[in-house]
Amino acid sequence: MSKSIAIDGPAGAGKSTIAKKVAKSLGFIYVDTGAMYRAMALYMIKNKVDASDSEKISATCKSADITIKHENGEQVVYLNKENVNGLIRTEEVGNMASASSVNADVRAKLVELQQKMAETTDVVMDGRDIGTVVLPGADLKVYLTASSKVRAERRYKELTEKGTQCNLDEIEKDIIDRDYRDMHRENSPLKQAEDAVLVDSSYMTIDEVADEILRLYKERA
């Protein structure tokens, strides 16, 4: 049977960086489920679907063909055969993803895809509902979080390093709003699974968090 580690938590807690590291040291495949929701959101934007029009989102998601491939150790997301990795990391797509991911039809489609991937491959999968919905039987579940202030500072640093003008308070407000939406939606809200281990990365380095997760996994294996 394939093995799995589920890492859930709010945006900016460091899930993807840490999940990638853990996957590499165990020889597992890293699956970034947020990228799938982002690809779906991009499809909604391309089709001029309004974020509040749930009927249109349900109808439109049926014609989105989202596939994941791993090329040179990197996850590549294809939307209707187009590599969209370079198009899904914008604030616009992130905000649409937060809105369109509340839709039950969007979730059903992507959860099925995620479960199929984990059936045949050893995975470290990160997202919001991996431990609670997608992989309830995961070998290790981690709920990775950090304070909104620390997460905003990380995002601010990332954006200013890229030369993007931004405002720290606005970023923190965006993070708090997104957390609220992710945690209070009806379908698969972000919450810690009962059997998940809570890791607060606010004052930990990336290596410290990755080592802690590897230690927890080995302890259970």
Our CB check for ligand DC shows the closer of 56 and 181 to be 181
128 interacts with ligand DC by CB under 6 A: yes
129/191 Cα distance (integer angstroms) = 8
Paired with 200 in beta bridges are 145
Minimum CB separation from ligand DC for residue 55, in Å?
19
43 interacts with ligand DC by CB under 6 A: no
123 interacts with ligand DC by CB under 6 A: no
94 interacts with ligand DC by CB under 6 A: yes
182 interacts with ligand DC by CB under 6 A: yes
174 interacts with ligand DC by CB under 6 A: no
Contacting residues for 194 by C-beta, under 8 A, at least 6 apart = none
Our CB check for ligand DC shows the closer of 33 and 75 to be 33
Our CB check for ligand DC shows the closer of 14 and 34 to be 34
Strands 140-145 and 123-127: unpaired
Our CB check for ligand DC shows the closer of 129 and 172 to be 129
Cα torsion angle, 47, 52, 57, 59, sign: negative
Residue ranges in 184-213 that form contacts with ligand DC under rule CB under 6 A: none
17/93 Cα distance (integer angstroms) = 20
73/49 Cα distance (integer angstroms) = 33
144 interacts with ligand DC by CB under 6 A: no
- The single residue among 14, 19, 39, 129 that binds ligand DC, judged by CB under 6 A, is 129
Q: Where are the beta strands (DSSP E) in the chain?
A: 4-8, 29-32, 66-71, 74-79, 82-83, 123-127, 140-145, 197-200
User: Could you list the residues that contact ligand DC (CB under 6 A)?
Assistant: 11, 33-34, 37-38, 94, 97-98, 101, 127-129, 178, 182
